[in-house]
Amino acid sequence: MSHVASRLVAVFAFLVILCASVHGEGFGPSLTVILDFDDAPAAKSLGEMRREVAAIMKRTGHSVEVRLRSETAPNEEFEDLVLVKLTGSCRMNGIPYAAFIDERGPSPLAWAHTVEGEILPFSTVACDKLRRTVGSVLFGGQRAQGDQLLGRALGRVVAHELYHIVTKSTVHAKSGVFKESLSGAQLIADHLDFAAPDARRLVAHGAARSRPAFAKASDAAQ
């Protein structure tokens, strides 16, 4: 079996476990997000991403722990589990300044996966697309903070995807983190949060959870 095929099988096995963890239950206030990178991010990006997504979700009553897939033990149990696959390069370095053009266009920065219309606890983030969107709005001293600002953007994109997964909603908001399309400027702004109605909906979903469903990471980390 090729390396690519083996990787796809491992991700699929992990996804099956994730689906089982939320079947008939919904998501509670405690979430573990497992990150599966194609290419390891800069430490500054990862740290800022963890901080940002945790801060955004905490204001909705949800406690979120963000881990790398390599940090997950095979038999570890979680209340609720979400897998985020990050494709391409999640580093700002190595891109010529001329390549920092706005390439938002029609393609999304991220998307949640569905089966027969059901939103799964599995999302993909297009890092190459995201870093170009962020790079297109950096100026002056911000370029020296590129990896940190990319991490901030990653945190906001992941929080957006968590809203899809927790609420099972495909209808976007007109403002805030759950807006359908976020600009580069919004992704790195000093502050961006869920709009008040979206925050209330997340709070309600967490409060309505009757009891946790536990999942094991099993062999997904292989």
Please check the confidence at residue 13 and state whether its pLDDT lies above 90.
no
Q: What is the mean pLDDT of residues 64-77?
A: 87
Q: What is the pLDDT of residue 186?
A: 96
Cβ-based neighbours of 15, under 8 Å, separated by 6 or more: 83, 113, 120, 121, 122
The pTM (predicted TM-score) of the whole model is: 0.81
pLDDT at 15: 52
Q: Over 60: is that where the pLDDT of 198 sits?
A: yes
Q: What share of the chain is helix, strand, coil (3-state, %, to 5)?
A: 45, 20, 35
Q: Which fold has domain 3-211?
A: Collagenase (Catalytic Domain) (3.40.390)
Radius of gyration of the chain (CA): 17
User: pLDDT of 127-178, one tens digit each?
Assistant: 999 999 999 999 888 888 999 999 999 999 999 999 999 999 999 999 999 9
Pick the closest to residue 212 from 120, 84, 78 (CA basis): 78
Domain boundaries along the sequence of the chain = 3-211
